[in-house]
Amino acid sequence: MSEQRDLEIDDELQAQIFSKQKPTSSTLLLQTWTKCICIAHFHEPQDDFDQAMKVVVRVEDGDVRRFEEIAAFQRLGCLAAHHLVPRTFKVGTIVGRGGKKLGFLITAYVEGVVLTEVYDFLGTEQREAIMEDLIAAVKSFYHVKPSNVESFRAHGGVLLETFQAHSNIPIARIGGPRWGYFHDARSFLETVVKKLETWGSRIAIKEAEDEGILVETTEASLDYLQPVHISKSCLLEMESGAVMSFMDLEPRNIIVRAKEGANGGYEVAGIIDWEMAGFFPSGFEQMFKDSQCGSVNAYFDWYRMFRDKTTDCLSLGENSAQLALFSVMDMARQSYMAQERRNFGLLYTRKWILEEKLVLDGIKGWIRKPEAGKVEPWSEEKNRLLGAQVAKELGMTWN
């Protein structure tokens, strides 16, 4: 049995990626069995890369089609916010060891640091200024829709086949590379529930008499969760109202750079890593963020800023599709939190919610409890200590 090796962008792969001039050197950023990301350096400006002397090269093993779809969403993102989304210069397929197909992507290099490296040192005003710039970009993404035919033809790449297919072929109305693609809202909601529950399936979606759907629990232990009826009109609204959503606006995916002439000030330089992007019902990005609190992101102020500054993207009416979507997602979230499992992520999230003194205020999201008082700001150190506490309870080692 051959030994598993990390994926490497060697001379042979470089020759396939760079058909005109190979880079003179490279700086490795990330390397795993299935992925390699590096900065390629050139001695002189390159015509193919807007006269740049550095570009970012990403090579991945796996589903090449999915890789091309991610690149297409980044291109659409650059169309909407060209000043913050790195330009995509080239995407394609190369052949690695053993004839295996690999996907590759060349994008503009963005000078700066990942926001996580400096976030703990930023004051409230600086954090809010960064979020303001990001929200402007996020809202510009929402203007990109599957119905934007001209944008798709120019920048959508393989997505054109998925969302703008011929009339005799069912087209996707919702979805993205990570979530999959869905021809209707019901199949999308079934996948959302499954992903948020994580283990098993304790929530069922059934067809209602009025051509809508009924979402209800199948477990007696969850009988406190009220069934959710979603009308046909709400389902159609979810489908027709799908907008491009980045879905992963976290500090780890934001590049910032020091402002010229500012003492310690930073500004947004780039939004990177488009794996989670897709076309989703309006409001889904905000509600998905609720389910990620205390897992992918432990900075409550970051979450709250995002939710507060996108409140105008939500419709809070009693019969709105967004309220129906929230109700289903909240049911799945509660099912997940009620699981009796000794799982690190689940236990960490429970403790984090207690530590931050939070309560879910309906479609408005997580807020501090009225009696919370002053809560010490979150930090990487607090994250480390809480992780160590959970690991100890589970009998795990923790570095």
3-state SS, residue 297: strand
CATH code at 11-109: 3.30.200.20
Q: Dihedral (C-alpha) 21, 25, 29, 30: value to the nearest 10 degrees?
A: 70
Query: In terms of DSSP H, where are the helices of 146-203?
Result: 149-151, 159-163, 185-197
User: End-to-end CA distance of the chain, in Å?
Assistant: 32
Query: What does the pLDDT average to over 5-31?
Result: 92
Residues 270 and 311 sit within 8 Å (Cβ to Cβ)? no
The confidence score (pLDDT) of residue 3 equals: 54
DSSP state of 58: E
* 288, pLDDT greater than 70: yes
Cβ 330 vs Cβ 320: under 8 Å:
no
Q: State the Cα–Cα distance between residues 117 and 128, nearest whole angstrom.
A: 17
Structure tokens at 102: 């690999």
SS3 call for 106: strand
Q: What is the mean pLDDT of residues 290-301?
A: 90
Q: How far is CA 299 from the centre of its chain?
A: 16
Break the chain into its structural domains and give their ranges: 11-109, 114-337
- At 132-187, the pLDDT tens digits run 999 999 999 999 998 876 777 777 778 877 776 544 556 788 999 999 999 999 99
Alpha carbons 174 and 274: distance in angstroms, whole number: 16
For residue 315, name the pLDDT band (cuts at 50, 70, 90).
confident
Give percent above pLDDT 90 in the chain: 75
**What's the burial of 236, exposed, middle or buried (CB within 10 Å: 0-12/13-18/19+)?**
middle
Give the model's pLDDT for residue 166.
Answer: 46
* Banded model confidence at residue 27, pLDDT cuts 50, 70, 90: very high
- Which residues are within 8 A (CB) of 90 and not within 5 positions of it... i.e. 6 or more apart? 17, 48, 104, 105, 106
Mean of the pLDDT values across residues 94-100? 89
CA torsion through residues 193, 194, 199, 205, sign: positive
Core vs surface per residue 80-119: b (16+ CB within 10 A) or e: bbeebbbbbbbbeebebeeeeebbbbbbbbbebeebeebb
Confidence bin at 1 (pLDDT 50/70/90):
very low
Give percent above pLDDT 70 in the chain: 95
| SS3 of residue 174 by DSSP | strand
pTM tops 0.85, yes or no: yes
CA distance 300 to 302: 5
For range 354-368, the mean pLDDT: 93
- Alpha-carbon dihedral 67, 72, 77, 82, rounded to 10 degrees: 110
Q: Is residue 105 within 8 Å of 210, Cβ to Cβ?
A: no
**Mean pLDDT for the chain?**
91
For the cut 90, the answer to whether the pLDDT of residue 98 exceeds it is no
Q: What is the mean pLDDT of residues 370-378?
A: 90
Give the mean pLDDT of 357-383.
92
Give the pLDDT score at 4: 59
Q: Give yes or no for a contact between 74 and 88, defined as CB atoms under 8 angstroms apart.
A: yes
- β-strand 254-258 against 266-271: which pairing, if any? antiparallel
Region 343-359: mean pLDDT is 94
Query: What average pLDDT does the segment 100-114 reach?
Result: 95
C-beta of residue 207 within 8 angstroms of C-beta of residue 246: no
* Mean pLDDT confidence for 77-96: 94
- Give the separation between CA 388 and CA 41, rounded to whole angstroms: 40
**CA distance linking residue 311 with residue 323, whole number of Å:** 13
| Contact between residue 172 and residue 163 where contact means Cβ atoms under 8 Å apart | yes
Per the structure block, which two tokens stand in for 22? 């190979």
Q: What is the pLDDT of residues 247-274, one digit of tens each?
A: 999 999 999 999 887 566 899 999 999 9
Sequence-distant (6+) residues with CB within 8 A of 35 are: 7, 58, 59, 60, 61
DSSP letter at 153 equals I
What pLDDT, on the 0 to 100 scale, is given for residue 333?
93
**What is the rounded distance in angstroms from the CA atom of residue 392 to the CA atom of residue 213?**
44
Which residues partner with 203 through β-bridges? 217
